[in-house]
Structure 1
Amino acid sequence: MERRPLGRSGIWVSALSFGASALGGVFHAVDEDEAIRAVHAALDAGISYFDVAPAYGGTRAETLLGKALKGVPRERYILSTKVGKYSGADGRDRLDFTEARIRAEFEASLARLGVEHVDILHIHDIEYEGRDRLENALGEGVATVQALKREGRTRAVGFGFYPVDLWERVLREVDCDAALVHNHYGLHDTRLEMLLPHAAAKGVGVISASPFASGMLTECGAPAWHPASAADRAVAAEAATLCRARGSSIEKLAFQFAASNGEVATMMFSSANAASVLRNIGWLAEPLDMDLVSDVRAVLGPLIDRDWY
């Protein structure tokens, strides 16, 4: 699989990357053995970059990914995890960007993953809790992860969050190496295109994630936790019906389109099923039907460039 530079970080990543949120049961129940097979299928297909977070499934995703990567030579993969967002004992996610919490939770993440360092350390979901923790994240949080980089615990510092306006600020004001941007380059949203020149000017490598719009662009539709209304879900279902009528599928078209932007370092998808991983990768050997893209985006009109989170 093609390797691309992650900005000016010195890190090279596969054109497709594996997001481990599905291993935490974010979308549906997960079979541990099958999830491990999914990771191995990705590795064998040439995917070299794996991303996870302690907030995915209350640390379950990190634990499972660590099991899957056990025994795999460390030089064979690029690994990232995240800090700042954690699942409490009550199952609710909370933010904490203090140095003490970041360092303690990072050590716990390394233990679950079975490694001594990560390649990229992302600050996670800084917009949550009404942005009340934003300044702490951009101050103490950034200073802490940059210190961890100087200490050799991570090779690069990044962010992973959603709002476009915050990306504009971070790319303007913060010294970072990577930007994990989700839900902003797909059939439903192409606002990532506005951010790419700013990232390139600062040497920031862009990771584009969530080709299926957090499940909305699938035959099953958005999961129960997704904020899409019944009317929104009906629009997405109409787009899926159109794809079927044209001999394709909404998943295939969404994946191909999301992977078509060569200006990003890598396009990240998530799956806990080996067959799905291989199916997704195989789609890239087929041509992208731009006429169908145009027609589907016309159907998705009411959802285009909507803010969901």
Structure 2
Amino acid sequence: MVNYRYLGNSGLKITEITYGNWVTHGSQVDDTAAIATVHAALDAGITTFDTADVYANTAAETVLGKALEGQRRESLEIFTKVYFPTGPRGANDTGLSRKHIMESINGSLQRLGTDYVDLYQAHRFDYETPLEETFQAFADIVRQGKALYIGVSEWTDEQLRHGHALARDLGVQLISNQPQYSMLWRVIEGRIVPTSKELGISQVVFSPMAQGVLSGKYLPGQPLPEGSRATDEKSGAGFIKGFLRDEVLTAVQRLKPVAEQAGLTLPQLAIAWVLQNDNVASALVGASRPEQLADTVKASGVKLDADTMSAIDAAVGDVVESDPEKTHESSPKRRLT
């Protein structure tokens, strides 16, 4: 079964492996397969689920809601997000204005089939809306009982500080950040993690397998596997391109004996690695087939010794991206429409 960790400086416990449905539900796989995969996650002990209104233009939330029908709501932790354009992509169908936030939470709750979400997250930072407006709307949603806690995604350390201060003044809890983090992408380690520890904020990290590259199935100098994420624009092919350089793929192959020595598969090693960071509350994983989760969940509770951690660093070498300035590139300077 999957272990639990506290989310930020709160009393909320979440599974250290969270099921996310970014590129699967409502687009990559049909609803029957998606629902079966959610049920497999539940059977494996995962109770924490992450989605967003923008995924498949709201369809992913609908599918997740259907998949969780009949489950005891109190035994689940459901997360969703707001920021990116949804619906017909009108002038106010995006961003973190009060109008968009208040309308978006209502739509998300309806699609998810629940009265509240455990965590409502700002999917990116909105440079066009005063942060005071955003957090007043979040605070009102918490007081209305539509969300229990507030989180953000891919915010810089300065943005986290400002948001945390506003949340505290308004009497609500900002307890999480959702950044990209993996053996190959470590940009949060320099500033985000130290700041978050100081503020009582946890990381719920996405792409712990570097968009699937850390599975080892992409080989240097070889054609991309048919049907893989890298060949499917609906599955986030644009996001994986930066990892498909031969020097990166060669480094990943050097991880295979490290995983074998640790008694793990490459995906298990990748997920276990991010969970060694004590500021990481959970690793987000997705799946297009139920059987994929049987392997994934075995990373929960794994402790990697110092020799294994050193061997990983030696294997990936200088292909690791650690520049903390990369976080500043995550949020668009203008809203997308």
- Shorter-chain TM-score bucket reads 0.7 to 0.9
The CA deviation string for residues 64-107 of structure 1, in whole angstroms up to 9 with x for no partner, is: 1101100111011011111222334479x963322222212211
How far apart, in 1, do the equivalents of 2:200 and 2:299 lie? 30
Q: After the TM superposition, which of the residue ranges 107-116 and 201-210 deviates more from structure 2? A: 201-210
Deviation, 1:294, is: 1.9
The match for 1:142 among 121, 135, 160 is 135
How far apart, in 1, do the equivalents of 2:242 and 2:8 lie? 37
Residue 11 (structure 1) aligned with residue 24 (structure 2) = no
TM-score (norm 1): 0.83
How far apart, in 2, do the equivalents of 1:299 and 1:89 lie? 43
Residue 300 (structure 1) aligned with residue 319 (structure 2) = yes
Residue 235 (structure 1) aligned with residue 247 (structure 2) = yes
1:85 match: secondary structure: coil
How far apart, in 2, do the equivalents of 1:206 and 1:75 lie? 23
How far apart, in 2, do the equivalents of 1:215 and 1:247 lie? 16
2:335 is aligned to none
Residue 200 (structure 1) aligned with residue 212 (structure 2) = no
Contact 1:49 1:79 in 2 (8 A): yes
Q: Decide whether aligned partners of structure 1 residues 286 and 148 sit closer, same or farther in structure 2, where only a CA change above 3 A counts.
A: closer
Residue 84 (structure 1) aligned with residue 83 (structure 2) = yes
Deviation, 1:197, is: 3.6
Map 1:273-292 → 2, pairs under 5 A: 273-284=289-300, 288=304, 289-292=308-311
How far apart, in 2, do the equivalents of 1:56 and 1:259 lie? 25
1:129 is aligned to none
Contact 1:168 1:195 in 2 (8 A): no
Deviation, 1:190, is: 5.3
Cα RMSD for the two superposed structures = 3.1
Contact 1:66 1:114 in 2 (8 A): yes
Deviation, 1:254, is: 1.8
The CA deviation string for residues 208-230 of structure 1, in whole angstroms up to 9 with x for no partner, is: 22202234434247553127458
Deviation, 1:121, is: 0.8
2:129 match: secondary structure: helix
Contact 2:124 2:154 in 1 (8 A): yes
The CA deviation string for residues 172-225 of structure 1, in whole angstroms up to 9 with x for no partner, is: 665442223321353431524633343233333332222022344342475531
The match for 2:209 among 186, 208, 212 is 212
How far apart, in 1, do the equivalents of 2:26 and 2:270 lie? 22
Map 1:111-126 → 2, pairs under 5 A: 111-126=110-125
Identity of aligned residues (%): 26
How far apart, in 1, do the equivalents of 2:299 and 2:121 lie? 29
More strand by share: 1
TM-score (norm 2): 0.76
The CA deviation string for residues 6-26 of structure 1, in whole angstroms up to 9 with x for no partner, is: 223331111221122133467
How far apart, in 2, do the equivalents of 1:149 and 1:290 lie? 40
Q: Decide whether aligned partners of structure 1 residues 73 and 79 sit closer, same or farther in structure 2, where only a CA change above 3 A counts.
A: same
The CA deviation string for residues 100-123 of structure 1, in whole angstroms up to 9 with x for no partner, is: 222122111111100011111111
Q: Decide whether aligned partners of structure 1 residues 261 and 107 sit closer, same or farther in structure 2, where only a CA change above 3 A counts.
A: same
Contact 1:239 1:299 in 2 (8 A): no
Aligned length: 299
Counterpart code for 1:213: A
Q: Decide whether aligned partners of structure 1 residues 246 and 101 sit closer, same or farther in structure 2, where only a CA change above 3 A counts.
A: closer
Residue 177 (structure 1) aligned with residue 174 (structure 2) = yes
